[in-house]
Amino acid sequence: MNKVAEKFTKLEKYWILYDVGNSAFVMLVSTIIPIYFKNLAEASGVSAANSTAYWGYAISMATLIVALLGPIAGTLADTKDYKKPLFILFMMFGVLGCAALALPLSWTLFLAVFVIAKVGLSGSFIFYDSMLADITTDERMDRVSASGYAWGYIGSCIPFTISLLLILFAKKLGISSLLATGIAFLLNAAWWFLVTVPLLKNYKQIHFVEVKERPLKKALQRLGQVFLDIREQKQIFVFLLAFFFYIDGVYTIIDMATSYGKDVGIGDNQLLFALLLTQVVAFPCAILFGRLSRKYQTQDLISVCIAGYFLITVFALQLDKAWEFWLLAVCVAMFQGAIQSLSRSYYAKIIPKEKSSEYFGFYDIFGKGASFTGTMLMGILTQATGSSKAGVALICLLFVIGFITFRKSNKLQKGTVYFGA
């Protein structure tokens, strides 16, 4: 492959930049926000087990809302000139919600605002992921998708490091830690918006469905047809089923890691720095898997990632020391970006381009529906047993089911012509 072909186009770079922007908020969700919430809840007399459960319920609520809205919004977005406006709408819900977390709120109102911001973030991914078919080719999808996650990880370190320094040195700066955290929320919201601007200015919807009247009605009709198509295309359906189980484990780990770490006695600063290390390590690992996709089949790389996550969750069952959490963070970083980016590009290759948002709407149902299930069950098990480790045992099972089902989908893919081929 020549050097020119190796370079990213401007549009591919702008698309990657959105991962850099939103990853700042994703990083907050994994680190500062749950710690801030648990401290806020503890100050109001809420136990550690209950605050972990409430955090899980809030994430579950956000993912359930997106799972319900996703297919309709995704199908509507495939209508000509609809994808960008819908993307902007959800993105701004996320940005403004992130900024609103800076307000002096009770722990219950804080959770409510967080749900709004999380819905905006997750909803924007439906349109963002489907843009992949518009901004690059099938041959470049794995690399572009992996680079989005990779640069998102390293890019998010910039606002996160500034936020962390603000909070840690708040007293020396003459401000309260509460004010410093509020400034951090505003900083990350501004970062998210500003880094997204190039994509907003330059993206154009190439693949679409022409609808001249009653777009919502037509979208609902197409939604039913896509559902029937997915049922008939067994290789797509079984992949989505496998995706449901293994990504459930991945999302639950991402959303609950910090809360789980606090429950087993890891200090706040140790948690923050360990998760910052995760972002740094994830950058080269995501790039590496993107390059490996040129030599090895994408489905084999995904299988390796699922197996790696299973071993990680087994190790987490006995976690009770700070160095173990650091080791766990590094191991998660090795596979986190890879499993998400490769799943995204793999799916984008096997679906029809002109219906990419419609199909990614269903992708979001299985992904976000999985996240809802995992965090909800972990919350219930944590409250019922009084220990977060019961929820971790459940995650181990999810990876086993996901691995077996994914291998089944691989067999169905053999001899099947991709929509994108």
| In-domain check, residue 348 | yes
CA distance 270 to 260: 13
* CB 107, CB 44: distance < 8 Å: yes
pLDDT (0 to 100) of residue 259: 67
Give the distance, in angstroms, between the CA of residue 313 and the centroid of all CA atoms in the same chain. Answer: 19
What is residue 4's predicted lDDT score, i.e. its pLDDT?
Answer: 41
131 within a domain of the structure (yes/no): yes
Examine residue 1 and state whether it is found in any structural domain, yes or no.
no
Q: Does residue 419 belong to any structural domain of this protein? A: no
The rounded distance, in Å, linking the Cα atoms of 421 and 301 is 21
Helices 234-263 and 10-30, axial angle in degrees (round to 10): 40
Q: What is the CATH number of the domain that holds 189?
A: 1.20.1250.20
The pLDDT profile of the chain, 421 residues, written as one tens digit per residue, is 444 446 889 999 999 999 999 999 988 887 789 889 988 998 898 887 788 788 878 887 887 788 778 777 777 777 787 889 999 999 999 999 999 999 989 999 999 999 999 999 988 988 898 888 888 888 888 889 888 888 988 888 899 889 989 988 999 999 998 899 999 999 999 999 999 999 999 999 887 766 656 666 666 666 677 777 777 778 888 899 899 889 888 877 776 666 667 666 777 777 777 777 887 888 888 889 888 988 888 889 999 999 999 998 888 877 777 777 788 888 888 898 889 889 988 888 878 777 777 787 778 777 766 666 777 777 777 777 776 677 778 888 889 999 999 988 877 766 454 444 3
Tell me whether residue 418 is in a domain.
no
Which residue, 167, 411, 122, 179, is CA-closest to 276?
167
Q: Can you tell me the distance from the alpha carbon of 93 to that of 96, in angstroms, rounded to the nearest whole number?
A: 5
Asked whether residue 286 is assigned to any structural domain, the reply reads yes
136/407 Cα distance (integer angstroms): 28
Q: At what angle do helices 298-316 and 268-292 cross, to 10 degrees?
A: 160
Parent domain of 394: 7-204+212-413
pLDDT at 1: 42
In a domain, 93, yes or no: yes
State how many domains the chain has: 1
Task: Give the pLDDT score at 418.
Answer: 43
